[in-house]
Amino acid sequence: MKLQSLQIFYEKMKVFFVALAEASWEYLSENIGLKIIAFIIAVALWGAVSKQETAQITLQNVRLEYANLPEELDISNSDFLESATVRVRGSKDLLEKLRSEGVTIRVDLTQTKPGERVVQLSATDVLLPANIEVIDIEPQRTHLTIERVIERQVKVVPRFIGDVPKDYEMTSYSVAPSSITIKGAESRVGLIEEAPTETIRLTDHRSNFVERLNIDIKDLKVKILGSPAIEVRVQIGQIRTERSIDNIKVKLLPPNSKVKLKPSVVRIEVEGLRSLITELKPEEVSAFVDMPEDESLQVTPRIMLPPTLINDVKIKRIDPPQIEVRSLDQKRRK
C-alpha cells in the first residue's frame, strides 16, 4: 500500500517538473534578444555603481588666484600665500582624474581696502569639478598688504662694465629717453631712485658706438609704462693730457750775434693725445723769434713741434709770452 502511494506521488512530481521546465523554456525563449540586452545593462550598471565608492585625496600646491582687486590698489608684500594644500572627497573615478594644476583657489578682493589684511580661505573659494567636496584647506588664511598704486618718473642711468683699451677713454655719453615712468605699490615705487639699464661693456671699444637696451629694475612688482627701448650713445676717444716742458732754448731767425734775447729760454704747456704727449722729448721742440725791424722790441716766440704731432698736439701756453730782442750795439752806445 505504501509502495503504491509513493509511486503515485512520484508520478505527480514528475508531471509537475516537466510542466515547470516547459513553462520556463517558453518564458526564456520568448523575446530572448531583449532579455540579453537587459542582462548586459544590468551588469554595466552594477559595475558603474561599484565604482562610485567614495575616497579622499590631498592636493599639494594648489594655486591661489587673487581676483577683482581694484585698479587703484596693489598687493605690496612678497610673502603672501601663493599655493595651499587642499583635501577633497568624492568618487574614486573622479578623484583618479583630479590633479593639483587643474584646481584653483580663487580669492575675491572686490571689497578690499588699503592696509594690512587677513584673508580667510573657504571651501567655496576652491574651483572644483562637480560632485567633489572640499574637506580642508591648509593654511586657512593669508596676509596681504594692500597699498594704493602711484606713478613716478625716474632718471635712466646707463650701467657700464669693463674698461676701454689703454690710452682710450669714454669722453661722454647720451641717453634717450633720459627718464621713464614706473607704476606700482606706493612703498615699492618710493624705493626706486633711478632706472638702470642692462650692462654696457666698454672692453675693446676704440671708437663711438650705440647700444639699445632694456631697463633693469630688479623689483618685478614695479611696472615700466610703455616698455621703452633705451638708446645709449657712447663717445670713445684717445685720452688727452697736458704736460709742461721747461728750458726750451729760443733761437733768433736769422741768427745775429749782435742781438741778445731775454730771456733765452721758455717754458711751454702742451695738450694732446696721451700716447703722443708722454713720448714727446724736449729736444724735439724748438722755439724761434723773428728779428724785428726795430732795434728793441717784445716779440712773441713761435713753437715748432715735430711734423707728426702738429694735428694732435696743441700749444696751450708759452711762459713768458714775450721775448725781448735787444741789440748789443745799442747797449754799448748807452
Structural domains in the chain, CATH included, are: 54-148 (2.170.120.30), 149-238 (2.170.120.40), 240-333 (2.170.120.30)
Confidence of residue 293 (pLDDT cuts 50, 70, 90): confident
5-9, 61-65, 76-80, 272-276: the lowest-pLDDT one: 5-9
What is the pTM for the complete model shown?
0.64
Q: Pick the residue with more confidence: 187 or 32?
A: 187
Q: What per-residue confidence (pLDDT) applies to 332?
A: 47
Q: What is the pLDDT of residues 136-155, one digit of tens each?
A: 999 999 999 999 999 999 99
CA 171 to chain CA mean position, Å: 28
Q: What per-residue confidence (pLDDT) applies to 216?
A: 95
Q: What per-residue confidence (pLDDT) applies to 219?
A: 95
Is residue 312 scored above 90 in pLDDT?
no
Q: What per-residue confidence (pLDDT) applies to 25?
A: 55
Strands 265-273 and 313-319, by their bridges, are antiparallel
Mean pLDDT, to the nearest integer, of 51-62?
86
Mean pLDDT, to the nearest integer, of 109-130?
95
Mean pLDDT, to the nearest integer, of 293-315?
86
Confidence of residue 287 (pLDDT cuts 50, 70, 90): very high
Helix residue ranges per DSSP H, the chain: 2-29, 32-51, 92-97, 186-190, 274-277, 328-333
Q: Which amino acid would we find at residue 114? A: P
Confidence of residue 35 (pLDDT cuts 50, 70, 90): low
Q: Which residue has cell 745799442?
A: 330
Mean pLDDT, to the nearest integer, of 294-317?
87
Q: What per-residue confidence (pLDDT) applies to 326?
A: 83
20-34, 92-106, 239-253: the lowest-pLDDT one: 20-34
Q: Pick the residue with more confidence: 123 or 3?
A: 123
Mean pLDDT, to the nearest integer, of 182-194?
96
Q: What per-residue confidence (pLDDT) applies to 333?
A: 47
Mean pLDDT, to the nearest integer, of 171-195?
96
Confidence of residue 41 (pLDDT cuts 50, 70, 90): low
Query: 85: which 3 cell numbers?
Result: 594644500
To the nearest whole number, what is the mean pLDDT of the chain?
Answer: 87
Q: What percent of the chain has pLDDT over 70?
A: 82
Contact 180, 217 (CB under 8 A): no
42-46, 104-108, 304-308: the lowest-pLDDT one: 42-46
Q: What per-residue confidence (pLDDT) applies to 53?
A: 79
Is residue 125 scored above 60 in pLDDT?
yes
Residues contacting 291, CB < 8 A, separation 6+: 252, 253, 254, 256, 259, 325
**Nearest by Cα to 246 from 263, 224, 233:** 263
